[in-house]
Structure 1
Amino acid sequence: MQRIWMTIGAVLTMLAVAIGAFGAHMLKERIGADAIAVYETGVQYHMIHALALLIVGLTAGQLGASSKLKWAARLLFIGIIVFSGSLYVLSITGIKVLGAITPIGGVAFIAGWLFFAADVWQRGNNRS
């Protein structure tokens, strides 16, 4: 679990940098200020949650894999795809209906963090 999610996290952080650079250099002059703000929000959440995948992987390496950590990683990954992906496409295409699926990615982020917190809390209680 550790190697898989750390690899995915590293690739996703690289993609966040590349997608952010693309927006800054290629899109800034082509889409409006509101659309670029939406795009940048997608990049910000993408990067934060890709780094979170690295943290989940490191935690699995330190504490061992668990079903809660696996769900945390899956949900953070899904959140990046749905939340950030919908914001990228929305900002570039202007397809407003995509704004309706963005919150699904936000819920995935929240659930992923909850699974992570529950796992770490439970393991801490088992040690004391």
Structure 2
Amino acid sequence: MTPQIVIFTGALFAMFSVIFGAFGAHALKKILSTDQLNSFEVGVKYQMYHAIVLFVVGFNFSSIPSTIYWCFTLGIILFSFSIYGLVLSDSKGKKLRFLGPITPLGGLLLVAGWFFLLLSVF
């Protein structure tokens, strides 16, 4: 995996994290309950945290194991985006329950990304 792809992906996720965070803070504040808004913010935070990690990894490694890239990338998509979908669908009274089991799978991929990052250092 090239550093440029990793940096691009991290920057893309970071940009959307800012957009989703602003959307949540302004547009959704009147629509969502406090619990729903908190859940939405968890998705935004984890997306940003891992976007920053991709960014840092891209700048600090000449060659990034693709396992790390894909664990973080898919982890962000499955974890954060399933939370967004769950919260938004719940706010409309039609909760997409099939997304519920996807969130922990995304979390496992994020943990795996950290594990493989640890292995790559040693």
TM more than 0.5 = yes
Matches within 5 A, 1:28-107: 28-60=29-61, 64-66=62-64, 69-94=65-90, 95=95, 96-107=97-108
1:27 aligns to what SS in structure 2? coil
Instruction: Give the aligned residue type for 1:36.
Output: L
Distance 2:60 2:119 in 1: 13
Gaps of 5+ in 1: 122-128
The alpha carbon displacement at 1:101 in A equals 1.2
Q: Deviations over 1:35-83 (max 9, x none)?
A: 11110000010000010111221222xxx315xx221111100011000
Cα displacement (A) at 1:97: 3.4
Where is the helix percentage greater, Structure 1 or Structure 2? 1
1:90, 1:98 within 8 Å by CA — same for their partners in 2? yes
TM-superposed CA distance for 1:100, in Å, is 1.6
Instruction: Tell me the distance in 1 between the aligned counterparts of 2:85 and 2:26.
Output: 17
| Alpha-carbon separation, structure 2, partners of 1:44 and 1:16 | 8
Q: TM-score w.r.t. structure 2 length?
A: 0.90
Identity percentage of aligned residues? 38
AA partner of residue 91 (structure 1): V
**Runs of 4+ with >4 A deviation:** none
Tell me how far apart the structure 1 counterparts of residues 113 and 50 of structure 2 sit (CA, whole Å): 10
Compute the displacement of 1:34 (Å): 1.0
Decide which structure has the larger Cα Rg and report it: 1
Q: How many residues align?
A: 116
SS in 1 for 2:31: coil
Q: For structure 1, which segment, 46-55 or 89-98, has the greater mean C-alpha deviation from structure 2 after superposition?
A: 89-98
